[in-house]
Amino acid sequence: MAKLSVRDLNVSGKRVFMRVDYNVPMEEKDGKMVINDTTRIKETLPTLRLLLGNGARLVLAAHLGRPDGKREPSMSLAPVAAKLGEMLGQPVGFLEECVGAKAEAAVAALGNGQALLLENVRYHAEEENNDPVFSAQLARLADVYVNDAFGAAHRAHASTSGVARIVHAWGGPCAAGLLMERELKFLGDELDRPARPFVVILGGAKVSDKIKVIDRLLEKADTILIGGAMAYTFKLAHGGKTGKSLVEKDHTGTALAAEAKAKERKVQFCLPSDTVIADLKDTGKLNKKGRPVFEPINPRVISGDIPDDAEGFDIGPATAQAYAAIIQGAKTILWNGPMGMFEDKRFAEGTNAVAQAVVSATQQHGAKSIIGGGDSVKAINKAGLGDKVTFASTGGGASLEFLEGIPLPGVVCLDDK
């Protein structure tokens, strides 16, 4: 059922407690923390502008990093408040606390159309424990609850769900922000009733991470294209040799079961016909876990078995071409997980070819393309194509759980329309 939206609310003069995802990448420069990427802040601006324009007194809550219940200065949200003020074109107050008398007084002093950002809610261990007392303290700052933090909606924490339950019990509305609403529309409604053919592209590291998504999408998709290291577990399951590639030996049965279900449901299920492999050179260095670090050398394309000493890092050109042709004919596309180790440009060609095909299906053939978060969004942005798809999810873990059909606590707690 559709969730209540910020667009449905009368917020004039009301204290709106809004959970946002400001978990932005930061870096220390000359003793100061600076924000490396402001995408997450930018994504919230439409909801903020709507609420402030309608006269809300806006209280923003967010987490940054994993301070584990301690006041860790490098994880303060102070730089975010400053950047947000700049981007919004009006000052945003910053409060060094998120609960207590000081916070309550600052919120009481807010005028209509003014905003402040509370300090990192994870400075309190009670946040992640969804502590009812802490939730009630946060709720003292709220007449209305809004959640725009889709990326944190799979967590049942105080600020993502506990506060909402209390506001709801008091009779206050709990609504989805515009960003949250778009996530639910594209990852939910659009995929529930897809225009056909519906092509799903799944890649990434592990079958075990994606099997629930595969299983659920087998109920809806016309075609599933498999890439990434995940493909090698399927290869192994068919008796192929995978050399030193990333495989999950105990998930060959899972892989075969997925293929059997695809056959039963008449879903076209495609595995790579060729692979980019490389030999592994010992660098003599050790990683953080004390294991030797190998560097891939001598990349080349093969079809068939992967030699014992080599590792697979990408889908090959024949596979990329075949997948691109299928993608071009799609009317709905969902993509989750890169086709190879795209962070190394020698192994990014498969992922880039798929990204190009998704963009051309969208731009030239009117397909709806939905990029399901995490590394596939990184990959499409790295290829400079992020704004040429229909929708790129802001959630990593949250999108995956949502696509698996798991109810997200940060969504469940919102009022139905």
> Is residue 162 involved in binding ligand AMP (CB under 6 A)?
no
Count the site residues for ligand AMP by CB under 6 A: 16
Active site residue 70: no
Secondary structure (H, E, C), the chain = CCECEHHHCCCCCCEEEEECCCCCCEEEECCEEEECCCHHHHHHHHHHHHHHHCCCEEEEECCCCCCCCCCCHHHCCHHHHHHHHHHHCCCEEEECCCCCHHHHHHHHCCCCCCEEEECCHHHCHHHHCCCHHHHHHHHCCCCEEEECCHHHCCCCCHHHHHHHHHHHHCCCCEEECHHHHHHHHHHHHHHHCCCCCEEEEECCCCHHHHHHHHHHHCCCCCEEEECCCHHHHHHHHCCCCECCCCCCHHHHHHHHHHHHHHHHCCCEEECCCCEEEEEEEEEEEECCCCCEEEEEEEEEEECCCECCCEEEEEECHHHHHHHHHHHHCCCEEEEECCCCCCCCHHHCHHHHHHHHHHHHHHHHHCCEEEECCCHHHHHHHHCCCHHHCCEECCCCHHHHHHHHCCCCHHHHCCCEC
Binders of ligand AMP among residues 77 to 96 (CB under 6 A) are none
What's the min distance (Å) between Cβ of 197 and ligand AMP? 23
Site for ligand AMP (CB under 6 A): which residue of 67, 172, 228, 243? 228
Mark 234-263 with x for binding to ligand AMP (rule: CB under 6 A) and - for no binding: ------------x-----------------
Part of the chain binding ligand AMP (CB under 6 A), chosen from 11-19, 72-80, 200-208, 292-300: 200-208
* Residue 265 among the catalytic residues: no
Minimum CB distance to ligand AMP, residue 332 (Å): 20
Active-site residue identified among 14, 15, 19, 40: 40
Give catalytic status of residue 374 as yes or no. Answer: yes
Active site residue 66: no
* 209 is a site residue for ligand AMP (CB under 6 A): yes
Q: For the CB of residue 44, give the shortest distance to ligand AMP in the complex, in Å.
A: 24
Q: Residue 338, interface with ligand AMP (CB under 6 A)?
A: yes
Can residue 177 be called a binding residue for ligand AMP (CB under 6 A)?
no
Interface with ligand AMP (CB under 6 A) = 204-206, 209, 228-229, 246, 312-313, 337-338, 340-341, 343, 374-375
Catalytic residue set: 40, 206, 374, 397
